[in-house]
Amino acid sequence: MTFTIPGFGYQRVAVARDVTLHVAVGGTGRPIVLLHGFPQTHAMWRHVAADLAADHTVIVPDLRGYGASDKPEAVDRDTYSKRTMAADIVALADALGHERFAVAGHDRGALVAIRAGLDHPTRISHLASLDVLPTLDMWDVLHGSTAAVAFHLYLMAQPPGLPEQMISASADAFFGYFLDLWIRDPQAIPARLRAEYLRASREAVASIVADYRASSGIDIEHDRADRAAGNRLAMPVTVVQQDWGAALGFDAAALWRTWADDLDHRATTAGHFMAEEAPEEIIKVLRSLLAR
């Protein structure tokens, strides 16, 4: 049975001709959309969503290709581009009656949020990114032996066929590896929920790989076009990251400043799954952003 956030209602919302998203909605007030990361579902936001719902309308979808949302076949490079996935989120807000909304994303969801902010600046009031760099910068800082920490990016960037076959053959081991490696407090993801993440990912290998493959190709092209045109994130932006720079040799805040003028960049001592490991910290950060 798919995990549900207590107190939230669930519905399926059509956002494109061939895609319907599985969405949790709770609370009332100014809207905020929370976008999950890899290898997870909307359930990663359960603590944060419950708190924000006290005074906001909180919208928590499974991204296309993940969880209980539709998983269209990747018929072209656009199917899982972040531009397409960001358009899903704008269409979701339209369907729920929200002209402007805040968006917070973790991991893959943060890449979707960033693209939504660049492509739809009049629709996004505030933007929060948890533990990623923009796609173009992410690839630029990975080089030499340090790139081994992101081996999964290179695996899923390969042409269709082999990555899907390899991952499907040991799906639980593959996805479980990241759930275990990237967390500092294993108790933050209970066994039942870990099993749910594994099941959902096991059933979505092809679409997850397609999402990552897009980030090694068309998503880079879109970022390069924005950089060449001088496009930047116009809304207040808050970024929370682990201190990757010390290990990989770059200044994350400096990279982010090339994309956002109104930037609040923060480091955290929590692990990658910070919305589950340190929900109080993330709630405080998001409430501070929404007050700007």
| Residues noted as catalytic | 107, 272
CB 286 within 8 A of CB 128: yes
* The two structure tokens encoding residue 277: 């490991």
Q: 119-130 as b/e, with b when 16 or more CB fall inside 10 Å?
A: bbeebbbbbbbb
What are the DSSP calls for 21-85, one per residue? Answer: EEEEEE--SEEEEEE--TT--GGGGHHHHHHHTTTEEEEEEPPTTSTTS------STTTT-HHHH
- The number of C-alpha atoms within 13 Å of 173 and in the hemisphere containing its C-beta is 5
Give CA–CA dist 196/194, Å, rounded. 5
* The two structure tokens encoding residue 121: 């600046």
Spatial CB neighbours of 29, under 8 Å, sequence gap ≥ 6: 55, 56, 57
